[in-house]
Amino acid sequence: MRGWTRVRAHWLFPYAAAGVLSLALGQRSGAADDARAWLEKMNQALATRNYDGTFFHLSEGRVETMRIVHRVKAGRVTERLQSLDGSGREFVRNNDELTCFLPDQHTVLVEPRQDHGPFLGSLPRFGADVDEFYVIQSLPASRVLGRAARVIAVNPKDQYRFGYRLWLDENTAMPLKTQLCDAHGQVIEQILFARLEMPEIIADADLAPAVRTEGMRWVRQGPTSEPAAAALSAYRAAELPPGFHLTVSGAQTLGGASVPAEHLVYSDGVATVSVFVEPDAAAQSNTAATPSAPAEPPMQGLARVGSGFAFSTIVQGHQVTAVGEVPAQTVEFIAHSVKSFPATPP
């Protein structure tokens, strides 16, 4: 919000002024409740409606044009996300199976996905726990795609998480435009629809991949499993940024790894950070588990990953990596605080 008020641009001024006014009139809680209701409507629309749209994904000075097709028919969800330029890549989700068509790699990647939300994502319910770390606001209405839009801001209260600004179609509650912003209101990434239709019926053909799969290599990824019962120790973050807590812990064999990685998921209710713990690759190859593979150097430090960051470090001979759509300091904080704890008997 701070970033918005020192704006030069004429078009934001009325909004900011109206925002201040509504605060002054003490309508904040009413507006916030209304905003919550709209976020809920948006989630509903994203998960349950049929839609077919084309959007721009603007990130890191690049624009990607994508098409999304989402169909709910007799309780079955099928959706398709297609890159319209360059790579020709497509993701197709059929209920609980995700198939990634990567024609430029002559590869098709198949992965089981349970309880998975729509490709376009959704926002969680905003309960009291979330209120402690985010402020939800209704901003004055605007227009996107020539349609009337509700504008809702979810602003983080500290530097450990990102926020959102959402332009929701007044009629359908579909997000016509979304921005991921940092604590200063700076836009990190945005999605902007150029076309969005919500047809009653979507033909199978619209959900079929355009990619020709002859001669392509099919790769199946393993499902996540419970951590091995025999594990002598478990890795956990000893300290966490405010509001984050452990939501999932499991083990997953990733790619061609010979040993499953421990996978911990921490969340503040909105943002999510995954922590992966694997034996250090160099140490692992010394044990001749994969004699053909050259020892990968251990990963250390920070990398950008889409709209978020990853931070890697070595803890007691194990590679620890935290990754999530959160600011750099959050992944760094969490990765640095990971320690091994003696496994507690069940």
Within 138-197, the residues that bind another protein by CB under 8 A are 142-147, 149, 162, 164, 166, 175, 178-180, 182, 185-192, 194-195
Binding region for another protein (CB under 8 A) out of 26-34, 205-213, 233-241, 292-300: 292-300
Q: What is the DSSP letter of 309?
A: E
Q: Are 193 and 83 in contact (CB under 8 A)?
A: no
Of 14 and 30, CB closest to another protein: 14
Q: How many residues bind another protein (CB under 8 A)?
A: 116
Question: Residue 16, interface with another protein (CB under 8 A)?
Answer: no
DSSP SS3 for 273: strand
Out of 22, 59, 94, 337, the only residue in the binding site for another protein (CB under 8 A) is: 59
Question: Residue 35, interface with another protein (CB under 8 A)?
Answer: no
Question: Residue 45, interface with another protein (CB under 8 A)?
Answer: no
Place of tokens 């089981």: 112
DSSP SS3 for 86: coil
Among 98, 91, 154, 144, which Cα is nearest to 122's? Answer: 154
Of 30 and 245, CB closest to another protein: 245
Place of tokens 């496994």: 343
For 105, what's the count of Cα atoms within 13 Å in the CB-facing half-sphere?
11
Among 254, 257, 259, 251, which Cα is nearest to 224's? Answer: 251
**For residue 57, which amino acid is it?**
H
**Residues of this chain, 62-81, that bind another protein according to CB under 8 A:** 62-66, 81
**Residues of this chain, 86-105, that bind another protein according to CB under 8 A:** 86-87, 89-91, 100, 102, 104-105
Binding region for another protein (CB under 8 A) out of 21-29, 233-241, 256-264, 333-341: 256-264
C-alpha span between 56 and 188 (Å, rounded): 14
Question: Residue 301, interface with another protein (CB under 8 A)?
Answer: yes
Binding to another protein by CB under 8 A, coded x per residue (else -) over 105-144, reads x-x-x-x-x--xxxxxxxxx-----------------xxx
**Residues of this chain, 302-321, that bind another protein according to CB under 8 A:** 302-310, 312, 321
| First-residue to last-residue Cα distance in the chain | 47
Among 232, 313, 332, 316, which Cα is nearest to 273's? Answer: 332
Least CB distance to another protein at residue 177 (A) = 8
